[in-house]
Copies of this chain bind each other. A is one copy, B any other.
Amino acid sequence: MRVTAETQAATHERILEVAQELLAAKGFEATTTRDIAHGAEIAVGTLFNYFTTKEAIVATLAAEAVAGAHRKFGRGNFEADSFEEELFAFVAAGLRKLKPLRQHLPVVLETALSPLVLAGEDDGQSLRVSHLEAVLRLANKHGVKDLSPVALQIYWSLYTGLLLFWANDKSPRQEDTLALLDHSLEMFVSWLNSRLDDSLIKLPNKKELHYANHC
């Protein structure tokens, strides 16, 4: 069984390699599951023993690509700039790793990047969860304690919007995407700070007010 386990890991890896090559060469639509299976020298049925859907393969590629960046920033041995600047560096590092998949990210938006998708999913959710965990670690490191679920969701909106924009960014070196990231984070972080201030001054929470009659 040990031999089998190693073989399985090798097959898993081979599938991902072949998929990445074909994806880069022909794009997502033109790359059929038969192609991938053939390239990995397995049957189609075997392919689906390793990945539940074609999109899951891309999701896994994306998750593995950014895993490095997550680990690097998770160790916390990065020089401590401001929260905003470190967050910027973190996201930018993730983008660099994701570059080969740039144009194929929209196809995983629905599953891997969607918020609140039914839990239990293997590789899809890992991208979202591990990214948000890394953001939380960065926040805590800079004294921004316990981001609320709403704050995390807003961050996720901005992040997925950035990825979608990036996928279609035609500017020469994707500098438009970096500008968008810069402004998004500036807005997000200063909003976080203003909320911290509010809670210190203990202003009455008025957020219930003007959506009560819009339900």
A residues neighboring B (CB under 8 Å): 85, 88-89, 92, 106-107, 109-110, 114-117, 150-151, 153-154, 156-158, 160-162, 164-165, 167-170, 173-175, 178-184, 186-188, 190-191, 194, 207, 210-211, 214-215
Contacts and interface: CB of A to CB of B under 8 A. Distances in A.
Contact of A161 (B115, B179, B211): B115
Contact of A115 (B117, B164, B179, B211): B164
Report copies per complex.
2
A163 to B, nearest CB: 10
B180 A153 contact: yes
Contacts of A174: 215
A40 to B, nearest CB: 27
Given A85-B210, A161-B153, A175-B215, A190 B183 contact: no
A215 B173 contact: yes
A208 to B, nearest CB: 8
A168 B114 contact: yes
The secondary structure that dominates the A interface is helix
Contact of A114 (B92, B164, B211): B164
Contacts of A168: 114-117
Contacts of A117: 168
20 contacts: A88-B211, A89-B214, A92-B211, A109-B110, A115-B161, A117-B168, A150-B183, A151-B183, A153-B165, A153-B180, A157-B157, A158-B158, A160-B160, A160-B164, A178-B211, A178-B215, A179-B207, A181-B211, A183-B207, A191-B191
